[in-house]
Structure formats: C-alpha cells, structure tokens
Amino acid sequence: MKLDLEQIPRIQHITKAQFLKEYVEPQKPVIIERLIEDWQAYKKWDLDYVDKVAGHKTIPLYDDRPVSSDRKFNEAHTRMKMSEYIQLLKKGPTNYRIFLYNLFKESPELQNDFTYPDLGVKFMKKMPMLFFGGMGSKVVMHYDIDLANILHFHFNGEKQCILFPPSESKYLYKIPHALMAHESIDFGNPDFDKWPALKHAKGYIANLKHGETLYMPEGFWHQMTYITPGFSMSIRSVAKKKLNFPKALYNVFVMRHTDNLLRKMMGQKWIDYKNNWAIIRTNKKNGFV
C-alpha cells in the first residue's frame, strides 16, 4: 500500500485572474512551470553563482538529527562557510540543509535577480527566504508557522515535494505544541502497520525542477526530498482565511515560546511526551486503539 497522493496540477503560464480563481480561492496547489523565465535568477542561479556571491558568509545548517530538548525550537545544528557547504553539496549526498535563511539581508545584490510576480496577491518584501539541501536530504513533514500563502521557486536540480491540505492534519500524527508530523514517519515509504491513520490521508506529490514555481496554500503540510543538490526561494503572503491569521499570531507569539519554556523545564521528557501523545491522540481519533 502507498500513500494516497495525486500529482500537483501543472500549468505553463498563468494569469492573475486564473491564479486567484482556480488556486488561491479554493486553496489548491499548483506548479507554474514558466513563471520566472524572464528572471535573471532563472539564468544565473546555481551553486557556483551562490558561491561567488556569498561563499564567504557563515551559514546555519540543519541535519536530520531528531528534535531534542538540548536545542530551542528551530535552532541550527552547526555552522560553516557557504563555500565549504557548496563543496559538500557537490561532493555527494549530505544531510546538511539550510532552512529559512534570509541570505538577502547579507547579500542584497541577489535581490536584483528577481521580481515579485504580479498575481493579485501581496507578497511580503522583507521575507524572501532560501532553503538548500544535499542529494538525498529530507525536510520533515511540517507546515509553516505563519500559515502564509507561499510561492516556492526551485533552482539547480530537482526535489520531490509531498503536500497535504490542513484538512488532513488529523491523520498525520501531528506533534502537539509544534508544526510537524511525527519525525519517525518515512513519508517516502510509510509503514502503515505502525502509522495506520496515514492510510486515510489524501495529498499531493510532484518533482519540482529548476525554474519551476510551486504555490502552497495556507497551512499546507509539506515534506521535501532533494533528488539532486539544489536550493529554493520562498516568498509569502499573509494568511487570509478567517481563523488562520490569529492562529499564525498564536504560533509566533505563544506556541513556540511555551514549547521552549517546557523544553527548558522538563528536558527530553517533554519531547518524548509530545511524540508519544501524537501517536495516542491520532490513533484514538481515527479508531485505531
């Protein structure tokens, strides 16, 4: 048995009206294949270019170690020079990733290489974020803290994206006081005996290639696997669905601080308790007890 995943619809070009009516309003994902062909970034952005522009910068890195009470919510695992990291990416598979990094703050010239698409949605100009991954590296299934509408542009190769709408949260073994699914689940090849509720989850899948744009609606779960080394940029527009904006404020200003406090007070017990709670709660809700 496999996960119930349909291909994310693809379109070559899109008009503002079509984007709003067919995707933003109904909150459906889409891949726009040729949206950014006129960007300088489309022609220029690869690992060598990033090395040239930002090789001397020190960057925060994450690997695939499990969440632990030794670290704060989303705290990086190590740091190195960007040029060293790019060498590592080129050498072969590595689990090291850059996550949610605002490189534009330090290398503002990169901002000359793109424009914000005119798609009838207002994007936050200060928040373009970059993500890098080595061949085979995986980003745990999660959704974003601000529940934003996201355009995600990919460069230098290919990565697999698995998405689930927020309606499927109840099947995904969501960790309480966090934004992620149980990190022991292998979404590439899930063990349904161990995670039976996953059988009911309906989602989407696609391989995103250089220059393609993925639209992820508000609060969509996503899990990425880098098929080749590469990087992506996300731009975001605030949550518009009625309850999502207050939920985003809660996540940013209450949830992550409460979680950090409990990590400090209870240590690993808090993490173990949450992981266990996710399993019990999900199985119970779905009648697998």
Kindly tell me which of 133 and 157 has the beta carbon lying closer to ligand AKG: 133
Strand 97-101's sheet: what is its strand order?
Answer: 10-11, 30-32, 213-216, 149-155, 230-237, 129-133, 97-101
Position closest to ligand AKG via CB: 131
Burial class for 236, CB neighbours closer than 10 Å (0-12, 13-18, 19+): buried
Kindly tell me which of 149 and 234 has the beta carbon lying closer to ligand AKG: 234
Kindly tell me which of 50 and 284 has the beta carbon lying closer to ligand AKG: 50
Kindly tell me which of 53 and 130 has the beta carbon lying closer to ligand AKG: 130
- Is 287 within 8 Å of 171 (Cβ atoms)? no
CB of 144: closest distance to ligand AKG in angstroms?
Answer: 5
Task: Bin 242: left if φ > 0, else alpha if -120 < ψ < 50, else beta.
Answer: alpha
CB atoms within 10 A of CB 52: 11
- Is 173 within 8 Å of 282 (Cβ atoms)? yes
- Is 161 within 8 Å of 138 (Cβ atoms)? no
CB of 123: closest distance to ligand AKG in angstroms?
Answer: 14
Q: Which residues contact 282 (CB under 8 A, 6 or more apart)?
A: 170, 171, 172, 173, 174, 197
Interface residues toward ligand AKG, by CB under 6 A:
97, 131, 133, 139, 144, 152, 222, 224, 232, 234
CB of 272: closest distance to ligand AKG in angstroms?
Answer: 25
Cα angle, residue 152 at apex, residues 238 and 132 outer, rounded to 5°: 120
Q: Helix, strand, or coil here: 237? A: strand
Kindly tell me which of 131 and 215 has the beta carbon lying closer to ligand AKG: 131
CB of 152: closest distance to ligand AKG in angstroms?
Answer: 5
CA 236/CA 125 separation, integer angstroms: 9
Kindly tell me which of 5 and 279 has the beta carbon lying closer to ligand AKG: 5
CB of 131: closest distance to ligand AKG in angstroms?
Answer: 3
Kindly tell me which of 77 and 199 has the beta carbon lying closer to ligand AKG: 77
